[in-house]
Every structure is written in C-alpha cells, then in structure tokens.
Chain A
Amino acid sequence: MPTPSEAKVIESIAEVFENKGVKPPPLGAETRLDASLGLDSLDFAELVVRLEAQFGADPFSQGAPTPVRTIGQLAKLYEEALYEQVQ
C-alpha cells in the first residue's frame, strides 16, 4: 500500500504517461525512475512541475538534490522539502 506521498507521485507519473498518449505501466514505491520506465528528461521536468502543483514545493529548485532512484525515494524528497518549508 503506497503512502499518501507515494500515491501523489504515482498519480502524477500516470498523468505524464497519459499526456504522452501512452498507457502507464504498473507503478509502485519500488518502481525505478530510470530509462526502463520510459520517461525522458523532459518527461521528468514535466513530472516535477506536476509534483510542485501537488505538494506546493519544488526540491529541485535549489539545484540537484541527492540522486533519487525510486518512486519511494522521490516521495520522501518531497516530504523532506515540505518539512523544511514548515521549519
């Protein structure tokens, strides 16, 4: 069962696929965000814009954060960015 943050990331990734006219593959917290997923760098840029609208934060705006490899790690990154915003 994905956490609420992971669910938001999964929903946004699905939207990126739909916006390409492609059916999204099965997605979960362990899904890897590499080329095997089928998203290119502009798709990833689109994902970050969508996630900013979802979370109200953009952890990539201050330069590249620690590499994220999975959906779970990306969701965590947004949780941390939100936590920092509150602090």
Chain B
Amino acid sequence: MREVLLQKSLADPSRAAVVAEGGSVSWAELVELTETHRRQLGRLGRARVGVRLAGSAGCYAALAALDALQAAVVLLRADLGWGECRQLALELGLCAIVSAAGSGGREPRVDEIQPCGSVGHPGSVILLTSGTTGKPKAARHTWASLARPVRCADPGEGRTWLLTYRPNLYAGLQVALQCLTNQGTLVVPRAGASPPEIARLMAEHGVEFASATPSYWRRLLLFADADVLRRVPLRQVTLGGELVDQQVLDGLSTLFPAARIVHVYATTELGRCFSVSDRRSGFPAAFLDTVSPEGVELRVRDGELQVRSANAMEGYDDCAGTGAPARARARNDLAPTGDLVEVRGDRVFFVGRRSDLINVGGNKVHPAEVERVLRAVPGVGDVRVYAKASSIAGELVACDVVPEPGVDPEHLKRELVRRCSNGLLTFQRPRLIQVVEEIAVSAAGKILRRAPP
C-alpha cells in the first residue's frame, strides 16, 4: 500500500484518485495526504491499531502511512459505534483506533485505548470476515498477499472503478488496491445510496470497472433506470461473493453487451482463487485437480469444493490462538470451502453454501435451487429464500419476493404458488411467501439466509 500512495512519479497528478461523498481528491493531494498521515501517525510505528475504514481518501492515506510505519492494522467498519469499537479493540489487543479525517479535514483522529506493546506480526493486515455464519473471524494477511492478485492495467485501459463493497472487507480492499495500484479513480457511492443514485454516479464519473455481489447487481438492474445504466462506459462487470446464476449473467449481458463479464471466486481466508468470463454460470471442470498458474488448486470431495490457494491468508489472528495451524491449512492443504457443487458434464455448478441448507423435517433444501425456480416466474424482480424455524418440522422454506415494477403482488403470489406446486417437491415449496420492496442483504452485500430482516 505504501508503494502505491507514497510514490513520486504520478502519471497524471491532477486526476481524481477518490471521488466520495465529501468531494474529490486528486492523486497529488492523496500522495501529500499520505505523507501528512505518516508524520502524524509516527508514534504508532510497529503498533497494533484498528482503522475505521470508510471509502475516503483519508482512510487509504492512513492505511498507506501505517504500512510505511510497519504497524499491524485491523480493518474495522466505519459505522461501528464507539462502544463496539472499544470492545473490539480490547478483544483484539489494539492500542489505538484511527479514524480518517472528515471531509475537508487533513488530520486523522487517534483514540488511544491502551499502552502500545510489541506487535507480533508487524506489517500485517487483519480482516474480520463478514460473519454471515456465526462470529466473525480475524484473518491475517499481509499487503503482499493482498496485492498478489492485482493486475497491472495495460496502457489505455480504463481505470475508473466503482466501490460497491464495504472498504474493510476483502473484496472492497481488492477493488481499492486494483484501482489505486494503477493510479485510477475510485468512485465511492455514499452509504445507503439508492440504485437510481448509484447509476447516475456511475454515468457521471464514467465508471469503467464495477465489481459487486449478484444481489447488488440484481437490485441495480431492477430499480435503476436502464437508459442511465446504458450510458455507463463499463468495460468490465465483475460479480463475486455469492452464487452467480445464469439469470443475472444474462441480464447483465443484455444491458452491457460490450463489457467483459467476469465472476470471481474468492474468500477472505483463501483470497482470490479463480475467475470465469464466458458468461456462463459455474466454472469449467478442467479447473479441477490441477494447479493453476496463479497457484490455486481445486478439487471436489463429497460434493464440496476444496481449495488450496497461494493467495490465502497467513493464518487466523493470534488473538484467536489458531495462527499456525490455520496457515498450514490455507496455504498447504486443500481446505473445505463450505461451497457445495455439482459436476455436470464439463462444468461445475455451485448449488449453495453448506451452512445455508434448510432442513425441512430431515430433507435438505438448497435455497439457491428454489430461488432459481422462483426467478423464472414472469414478474419476479428479485427473490430471497431462507429458513423459517418450525417447532414441528425443524425448519420450513420461506421466501421474500420483489415484484417487477407494475406487477400486481396478489397475482404474482398466485402465479408463484402455481409454479412452485408444479416445479418443486412438497418440502422444497416456500410455505411463506412475502412480497417486499427490497431483499434483505448482509453488510457484505449477500442475501441473508438465516436471520429474518
């Protein structure tokens, strides 16, 4: 990170580096801001600190400065309350929490929590997993392991990226690194921006690369003005973080016929593993049982994808007491991913997360399989299938449906009932169908499967 933001040779110093709610910061300003942060944060050298990461220029300046100072950083959500921050700081042994300057400000805020002791892994970057299943874990990377999948753009290739992920999560950091390493422009929508607002921002700033979860793309396709979206000069549309179905790929292909459409398989622990750009869901079976040039090996055991990845974390954070064994697992062993797959002919298809399986009286239901049937019903804009606790059956299948604009909800419900009765087994059938305005997603932008909204 420090090499990215503390450099003297800028191709275009006046180009915007970060465009966020508070305004735009040029590359020349960002480099200067990073120098200022390095001076101001000097006392945190080799310390273990938390950084509250909003997608602002100040946050990236703070990260680069702390990298130059060999601090170990734990990336925190910017919207964490002070009480939660302090609690996390104590649990994770942080000596201070750094918050970026607000818009227009130049000085980061440093809240000291406890005396700085010696840090076990200077220069490490600790990411808290999105925690869709259970308590978040602290995955320890280095800037080198995070930057390993970053590709240098060819001259003339576009460099304006949209940041849709939370900046403190693996995917958000990958987008920022990819963009900033190539001295591009990172466009950051304000928190809670509506789909029409995001589309306008993309068109206004000429976004050329956009990476998001399938849930995020579906929401954009459903609620943003298609004419505005068509004006966005997208060269690449990337999907990741969730199962990518053919319907969303087809929707994006129709809207952005000239763009390269890529889906990426990556996790916080394993890093970026592989990508597919043939506009088909799943991935080629030829990827299995071989080591890719990127150092990633895949295999299927008992229906689950197992991965060994050169981009994996160093290990879980020492605070969890599992650093060494986790490192051995991630880098040297084929580790189970929790992703269930089916090999059909020359293709491997994802069928869902093991933890998302719904147990209906002993019968296992894949939510994604039910969603596939529901999405095919005309008038369905978006859908979420989740488990509803039942004292009789253990769990039942429930779903939330967003109708396409102008579709009568009652008519749609009747049509869904008809299609489910014909297309699904009795235990797969959603027992509760709720029409909603929007699908509930997690902080990481993924469909919520367990907790009701």
Contacts and interface: CB of A to CB of B under 8 A. Distances in A.
Nearest to A52: B391
A41 B392 CA distance: 8
Nearest to B389: A49
B390 interface: yes
Nearest to A47: B392
A45 interface: yes
A49 B418 contact: no
B417 A41 contact: no
B103 to A, nearest CB: 45
A49 B396 contact: yes
Contacts of B377: none
Contact of A21 (B360, B390, B418): B418
A53 to B, nearest CB: 9
Interface in A42-83: 42, 44-46, 48-50, 58, 60-61
Contact of A19 (B360, B390, B433): B433
B191 interface: no
B417 A42 contact: no
Secondary structure type dominating chain A contacts: helix
A40 interface: yes
B392 A20 contact: no
A71 to B, nearest CB: 17
Interface residues of B, number: 17
Given A42-B361, A45-B361, A45-B396, A61 B417 contact: no
A46 B391 contact: no
A60 B421 CA distance: 27
A40 B392 CA distance: 12
B113 interface: no
Interface string B111-140: 000000000000000000000000000000
Nearest to B394: A45
Interface string B427-441: 100011100000000
B361 A46 contact: no
Nearest to B388: A49
A60 B414 CA distance: 29
Nearest to A40: B426
B431 to A, nearest CB: 4
A79 to B, nearest CB: 18
A45 B421 contact: no
B393 interface: yes
Contact of B390 (A18, A20, A49): A49
A19 B431 contact: yes
Contacts of B360: 42
Given A21-B421, A42-B427, A48 B392 contact: yes
Contacts of A41: 361, 392-393
A50 B391 CA distance: 12
A60 B390 CA distance: 9
Contacts of B390: 45-46, 48-49
B362 to A, nearest CB: 11
Contacts of A45: 361, 390, 392-393, 396, 431
18 contacts: A18-B417, A20-B421, A21-B417, A21-B418, A41-B393, A42-B426, A42-B431, A44-B392, A45-B393, A46-B390, A46-B396, A46-B431, A48-B390, A48-B392, A49-B431, A49-B432, A60-B392, A61-B391
The 6 residue pairs across chains A and B that have the minimum distance between CB atoms? A45-B392, A45-B393, A46-B431, A60-B391, A61-B391, A45-B390
